[in-house]
Amino acid sequence: MAQDDPRTLVSTQWLAAHLKDPDLRVVDASWHMPAEARDAKAEYDAEHIPGARFFDIDEIADLRSALPHMVPPVEKFMSRMRAMGIGDGHQIVVYGASGAFSAARVWWLFRLMGHHDVAVLDGGFAKWKAEGRRIEDLPPVVRDRHMTVRRQNQMVKDVTQVAAASKLGDYEIIDARSGPRFRGDVEEPRAGLRAGHIPGSRNVPFNELLNDDATMKTPDALKAVFEAAGVDLSKPAITTCGSGVTACVLALAMERFGKSDYAIYDGSWTEWGAFPTLPIATGEA
């Protein structure tokens, strides 16, 4: 079991012990790939951890962008959090249906907005349920709470910045997609995207950072996965994936072993793969 850290990762045992703390807020950030045809909100309505609020990754986003679930404007994030009763002074625990898959994205969003007392629930809702812990189908009692936002611009990169990093090699670009997708051996799940990866990037599939029960590996084991993939950890990192979700699992893993100079490429392959003028590479890194 991973060591509990209220700023990165906490166990189901830790959450059960703190569930009634007055300043604890639990967030259900479940999200599924479109091909899975699952309704995360309907599943939340049917059962969730007591007191949990539902965080809609696709709605609490910049809907002006054609790209999916891009970082929301600061004002929108603040208003949605206030409506959810989440604000200054709260310890936040984010969980997803299983493991860190989508929960890490919301963990990173809170950190991007300057809120650091936020952790992912190790193993997610699946582990919580498997242990027979309490669940409910009741909506939470919400009281408005102001949230101060100090956006950390260095934690997110756009396509121009990533293209420069690819050319200059001054960042390690790390791709969280599966090996076959990274190499360009299979078609992308989103129609119209080219296959391959950003030139100069390394491949650390996010599921290699997890144990069989979807809990996260120890910090030393996490670091070893990055090193085995040829990542130069002395350089600042940019993480990427299909649409900016599992890239955040890599960010959480790096934070766990003490590396904090990372940023997320928010558009990820959904953006890069759609631009015919951007270079792509195939095969191994």
Average pLDDT over residues 226-235: 98
> Confidence band (pLDDT; 50, 70, 90) for 191?
confident
Q: Is this structure's pTM higher than 0.85?
A: yes
Task: From 114, 98, 110, 118, select the one nearest 26 (Cα to Cα).
Answer: 118
Integer distance in angstroms from the first to the last C-alpha of the chain? Answer: 32
User: Is it the case that residue 209 has pLDDT exceeding 90?
Assistant: yes
**Length of the chain (residues):** 285
SS3 label, residue 18: helix
What percentage of the chain has pLDDT greater than the value 90?
92
- Name the token pair of 52: 């949990």
Kindly report, residue by residue over 254-283, the tens digit of the pLDDT: 999 999 999 999 999 999 999 999 999 999
> Confidence band (pLDDT; 50, 70, 90) for 14?
very high
- Residue ranges and CATH numbers for the domains of the chain are 9-151 (3.40.250.10), 154-272 (3.40.250.10)
Contact criterion met (CB below 8 Å) for 251 and 170: no
Average pLDDT over residues 64-79: 96
Cα-based torsion angle of the residue sequence 10, 12, 15, 17 in order, rounded to the nearest 10 degrees: -120
pLDDT at 220: 97
Kindly report, residue by residue over 41-69, the tens digit of the pLDDT: 999 999 999 999 999 999 999 999 999 99
pLDDT at 238: 98
pLDDT at 215: 96
> In one letter, which amino acid is 9?
L
**Average pLDDT, whole number, for the chain?**
96
pLDDT at 37: 84
> Confidence band (pLDDT; 50, 70, 90) for 33?
confident
Cα–Cα distance measured from residue 217 to residue 211, given in angstroms and rounded to the nearest whole number: 6
Who's near 210: CB < 8 A, 6+ residues apart?
Answer: 99, 100, 216, 217
Residue 230: CB atoms within 10 Å: 12
Cα–Cα distance measured from residue 62 to residue 129, given in angstroms and rounded to the nearest whole number: 33
User: Is it the case that residue 2 has pLDDT exceeding 60?
Assistant: no
Average pLDDT over residues 68-96: 97
Kindly report, residue by residue over 108-159, the tens digit of the pLDDT: 999 999 999 999 999 999 999 999 999 999 999 898 889 999 999 999 999 9
Range of lowest pLDDT (32-41, 211-220, 276-285): 32-41
Average pLDDT over residues 177-189: 96
SS3 label, residue 238: strand
Annotated catalytic residues are 241
